[in-house]
Amino acid sequence: MKIGVALPIAEREGQQVGYDEIRALALQAEDEGLDSIWFYDHLLFRSQGEPTRGIWECWTLLSALAEATKRAELGTLVLCTAFRNPALLAKMAVTLDAVSKGRLILGLGAGWHQPEFDAFGLPFDHLAGRFEEALSIIVPLVREGKVNFEGKYYSAKECEMAPGNIRAGGPPILIGASRPRMLELTARHADLWNTCWLGPVAALAPRLAPLEEARQKVGREAGKPGVTVGVSVHILAAGEEVPAAVDRERVIVGTVEEVGQALYDYQQAGAVHLICALRENTSQAYTRLAQAAQYCRKLQAQ
């Protein structure tokens, strides 16, 4: 099981992290042995009665860090297909996979936060239908290098990827989904499926059951798509008490060893990749996460 970390690219409590800090955390995650770094794809966050929260544009940061890093996989959690023309998105993915020497995990989703759609002039109707058509373009372009598609929302006529993929089949496709129609698309097309944000492993089983139903419905082989899980994590510093605001049912919290054990529990439950969202995005917190990942690997090796 691989273990990665979601980078802090959105505002928190009115504070925006700059690129230099994001880059430093990405390099630290890679240097200390984490398997992957992940990027959210949003345009803004806006809740009624609250100030707008900003976020950096995902693909620009992803492209910069594809050059800055050397080993860690680069994942999107998840790219909203409604934000970018699907054929162009496939072109972007194949190009970035070449830049990163085959380290991209292409996470895709339909979107859900209407205020950002409204603010940027994007249609919010028929999200699942638009996503299905986007997949009909992206999947064959990424995997086979060509597509000829005419749909209600999108088209790609005699489209080809040139230059093509640097690895057979292109980057793995991950889909973040929870509803029946989206899960069926996931079971049919995806290499990986993502669910988030969970705490201890007990929350995973209820999420897996609908995916298994979808897999059986489309006739996909057992174990496909692979299960990835976004987990919320808080690793206690030496002498630190559990913060009162931490909900133990929704956050993995404890010492390095306790968190390492909790991560290992996910492997035992069938996860192939974990994406950790830290409550504190500091250098010290990243070091503790790397130590917990090392402890998890020791358990795996036993």
Assessment of whether the complete model's pTM goes beyond 0.85: yes
Q: Report strand pairing: 146-150 vs 79-80.
A: unpaired
Neighbour count for residue 56 (Cβ, 10 Å): 19
pLDDT mean over 23-49: 97
pLDDT level of residue 212 (50, 70, 90 thresholds): very high
For residue 66, pLDDT over 90 is answered with: yes
pLDDT at 13: 80
Q: For residue 52, what is the DSSP state?
A: -
pLDDT tens string 70-127: 999 999 999 999 999 999 999 999 999 999 999 999 999 999 999 999 999 999 999 9
pLDDT mean over 294-301: 96
pLDDT level of residue 183 (50, 70, 90 thresholds): very high
Burial 91-127 (b: 16+ CB within 10 A, else e): bbbbbbbbebeebbbbbbbbbebeebbeeeeeeeeeb
For residue 22, pLDDT over 90 is answered with: yes
Selected residue with higher pLDDT from 14 and 174: 174
Tokens standing for residue 124? 């919010």
Alpha helices in 103-203 (DSSP H): 114-119, 127-144, 180-189
pLDDT at 15: 85
pLDDT level of residue 228 (50, 70, 90 thresholds): very high
Mean of the per-residue pLDDT values of the chain: 96
- % the chain with pLDDT above 90: 95
pLDDT at 12: 85
For residue 10, pLDDT over 90 is answered with: yes
pLDDT tens string 138-180: 999 999 999 999 999 999 999 999 999 999 999 999 999 999 9
pLDDT tens string 246-255: 999 999 999 9
pLDDT at 204: 97
Whole-angstrom distance, CA of residue 169 vs CA of residue 179: 27
